[in-house]
Structure 1
Amino acid sequence: MRSASLHIATALALCGTWSLTACAQTTLGPVTGEVSFHTSSADLGVGYTWGHGVLTYGGRTYPFSVKGASAAAIGYSSGDSVGKVYNLQRIEDFAGTFWALSGEATVGRGVSGQLMENDNGVRIRLDYTRGGARIAASPSRLTIRLLKTPEQSSGEHTGNAKAHSAAK
């Protein structure tokens, strides 16, 4: 009986989250990019989240790392997220700290949705598929840092060599 009540409460909470993010999507404007990433979260009161992912923007892909914190959570979960990016005008605006109010009730496998925004006005609407055992209902903060690709690294190296040659 207790298990059934927990499942019903979880389903209602998730439906509320999905309907809020679905309604919000119409006011977010056009989609400017897409993300997919894998994260893990470990919590004992205060939690820590880490992971990596890929942003698709302007026909190119950009790898990034994710780390962050949350309050009022307990347990461990990991999983994959996919989402749409809104209001991204320049790739530089993607990196930064994203804020969200989030909730999760995962026992075994679970799904959830989240809407988050950074200081540059970039918004991400996410759909999660998680596994583990975790309960969380709190504000969360995720910091996204763009990673250099080998292509970008070699381009910067060439640019430094040109600058070094010009200085001679």
Structure 2
Amino acid sequence: MRKGTTVISDRLFNKLPKAASFSSIIELSGNTLKKEILSIEEVQTINEDDFIRKTFKEKSYKLTRIYYLNGEPYIYFEHFLPVLGSIEALEQTERVSLYKWLAEFDKNVSRFQDSFEVVKIEEPIKEKLKIDHTHLLKRVRKTISTFNEVIEVSYAIYDTNKYPYKYPYIIDYEV
């Protein structure tokens, strides 16, 4: 009989407890965070920016959602994802993690690449966030799989006037 360690699961979700997500940090500080899906559609990437077009070729799913902090609009998200399964299955991400949904298709997260900038906010997003500020923090995230492929690109606009984007440690997403 052989002895040793059996790896039951080597997925991101088993590794994350050592590093809290930004959502967890917000909730641990006594705030509530709720997400709402605004739309899910299959889009022709020809209508999107160069990176989306190069990453997902001809089409992708576009998931638009908003996060509410203590009942107030806080983060506006646009996620671009590979066309996997049905749009109806993607609707489950309102209750389940988007990364768990990707893992169901063997698109397991290895690491994130985030970049940040301050951007001028377009009127439709200002309306969704119920703000009159002209500029907010934008995060661009590339989610990289265990096979070193980009499996998600997201654009997030944070109303940092409601809660600052901060981590209690240096941002390093290698898992």
Higher relative contact order, chain-length normalized (CA < 8 Å, sep 6+): 1
> TM-score, normalization: structure 1?
0.34
